[in-house]
Amino acid sequence: MNNRLDEWTEKDEAYMKKYVQSHPDNRMAWYLLGKQYEKDGQLRKASYCYNQAGDIYKAFENEPLPIERFQEEQMLLVQAIHKRMRKRNRIKQGMRVFAALLLLLLIAPIVIGEDAMAPSTERNVDKVTQTKPEGEPQTSKPVDKQSEGKEEEPDKGHILPVPGHGSVVYVEKTSSAQSDRQLRQAVVKAAKQNQSSTLVTLQKHGRWSIWTTEPQVWAIVKSKAQSESRSSQTYFPGDADCECEPERIQAAKEAAAWARDAEHRLMAMSTHAAVLVQGKLPPASVSELAKGYPRNVVSGIDAEWSEVYKDVHNKLAVKTVPKTKRALDKQWATLAANPFKEPLRIIIDKKSHRLAVVSGSIMLRNYKVGLGGERTPEGSFVISEKVVNPKGSSSGAYGSRGMALSHTQYAIHGTNDLDSIGQDESLGCIRMSNADVEELFDLVAMGTKVTITSGHLPDVTVVPADDERYRIPLTPGQENPNKVYKWLD
Distance from C-alpha of 467 to C-alpha of 20, rounded to nearest angstrom? 41
Contacts (Cβ under 8 Å, ≥6 apart) of 268: 286, 305, 306, 308, 309, 311, 312
Give strand pairing partners of 363.
210, 358
Distance from C-alpha of 451 to C-alpha of 383, rounded to nearest angstrom? 11
Distance from C-alpha of 160 to C-alpha of 328, rounded to nearest angstrom? 36
Q: What's 475's DSSP letter?
A: P
- C-alpha separations of 41 from 237, 421, 465 in Å: 19, 27, 22
Query: Is there a catalytic annotation at residue 244?
Result: no
Determine which one of 313, 353, 413, 456 is catalytic.
413
End-to-end CA distance of the chain: give it in Å, rounded: 42
Angle at 335 between CA 192 and CA 405, to 5 degrees: 135
Determine which one of 272, 313, 429, 456 is catalytic.
429
Query: Is there a catalytic annotation at residue 242?
Result: no
Best CA proximity match to 188, nearest among 87, 51, 86, 70 = 70
Per DSSP, the residues of 331-370 read HHHHH--TT--S--EEEEETTTTEEEEEETTEEEEEEE-B
Per DSSP, the residues of 426-455 read SSS-EE--HHHHHHHHHHS-TT-EEEEESS
Q: Is the peptide bond before 109 cis (omega within 30 degrees of 0)?
A: no
Question: Catalytic positions, please?
Answer: 413, 429
